[in-house]
Every structure is written in structure tokens, then in C-alpha cells.
Amino acid sequence: MTRRGLLIVNTGNGKGKTTAALGLAFRALGHGLRVCMIQFIKGKWNYGELKAARRFEDLMEIHTLGAGFTWESENLGRDTRIAREAWDFAKQTIAQARHDLIILDELTYLIAYGMIDEAEVVGVLKARPKAIHVVVTGRNASPGLIEAADLATDMQSVKHPFDDGLEAQRGIEY
């Protein structure tokens, strides 16, 4: 069977965009597919998914290339440079075609903040090797990115424990 890679976008203000992408990653791993996740915004925190991914080192790579949450940045120029470097790494990873599934976690923010041009991102994703699946996550996915997607999901928050003053729970939200 010839496989055609899909472009999947998980966006919206609700929680679960990255979690859904990781669920897809673990499904792919279960079928022996090679997975690469590139995180554009998250800093060097100790996420549960990073711990779990270490158990699949032969099939899964996670590259946390962000500098933390850029909307809290004190040095936007530095963050833009780091974002560009991460995008260059992502383009190389896509072109190398060593993975069956590539997750570009929180890439939408780089477009929304004007760090990377939407047309460039869409062009690279459309020109990727045909068998590679790509998942893009993050709020405020651009219209061009959604148009290019084969599947786009808008996650909406209905209720969240933070609204009642509960902090993020280890193993559930990180």
C-alpha cells in the first residue's frame, strides 16, 4: 500500500493539542513508525512525555529547541533567532525523510508572532516528501496553514480546573 503523508493541525484555545499529537505519536510507535517531535516554544522543563519518549529511543526523538514562553520574553530578538534556528532544524529534519511522523509542537506561535513567514512554512510543508505525516500544534493557526491541512481540529475549552484555582497536575497537564 502506498502511503500519502497527511498534514494535521491541532489548534484552538482549549487544552490537549500537544497531548493529541503525542497520542498519535504513540499510535505510530505501536506500528513501528519512526517519530520526531520538535518543540518550538516549550523550555527545558521536565515534562512527563519526555520521560515516556526515552523508552522509545530507537524510534522516537524529541528536540526541545524553544527558550520558554515567548509572550513572557524579555529578549524577543534572541527568541526570534532561536525560533529561526529551530525552524531551520525542522526544515532539515523534514528534508532528510528519516521519520514517518514529525510533530511541530507550537509552530503556530512562530507564524502568529511574525518570527517565520506563513508562506514559507506552508511551502515547506506542502513540498515535504509525500510519505511523511506532519502534525502542527498551537493556538491561532493561520488561515494558510489550515487551508493546507488535510485535517484541522479546533480544540475549545469548555471548563478547566485552573478556572477554579487548581494548579497544573503532574502526569495530567505536564
Residue 161 lies in a domain: no
Residue pair 147/136 in contact by the 8 Å Cβ criterion: no
HSE toward the beta carbon, residue 13, CA cutoff 13 A: 4
Residue 59 lies in a domain: yes
Residue 95 lies in a domain: yes
DSSP string, 122-169: HHHHHTS-TT-EEEEE-SS--HHHHHH-SEEEE---S--GGGGTPPPP
Residue 148 lies in a domain: yes
Residue 29 lies in a domain: yes
Specify the CATH number for the domain of residue 129: 3.40.50.300
Q: pLDDT tens digits, residue range 147-169?
A: 999 999 999 999 988 888 898 88
Residue pair 116/83 in contact by the 8 Å Cβ criterion: yes
45 is catalytic: no
Can you give the pLDDT at residue 59?
A: 93
Q: Which of 106, 118, 128, 137 is catalytic?
A: 106
52 lies in which domain range? Answer: 7-156
87 is catalytic: no
2 is catalytic: no
Residue 94 lies in a domain: yes
Decide which of 75 and 131 is more confident: 131
71 is catalytic: yes
Can you give the pLDDT at residue 55?
A: 84
Domain count, the chain: 1
Q: pLDDT tens digits, residue range 75-116?
A: 878 888 988 999 999 999 999 999 999 999 999 999 999 999
Residue 106 DSSP label: T
Can you give the pLDDT at residue 1?
A: 61
Residue pair 91/124 in contact by the 8 Å Cβ criterion: yes
Residue 50 lies in a domain: yes
106 is catalytic: yes
Mean pLDDT, residues 12-25 taken together: 94
Decide which of 3 and 159 is more confident: 159
Rg (C-alpha) for the chain, rounded Å, is 16
Residue 171 lies in a domain: no
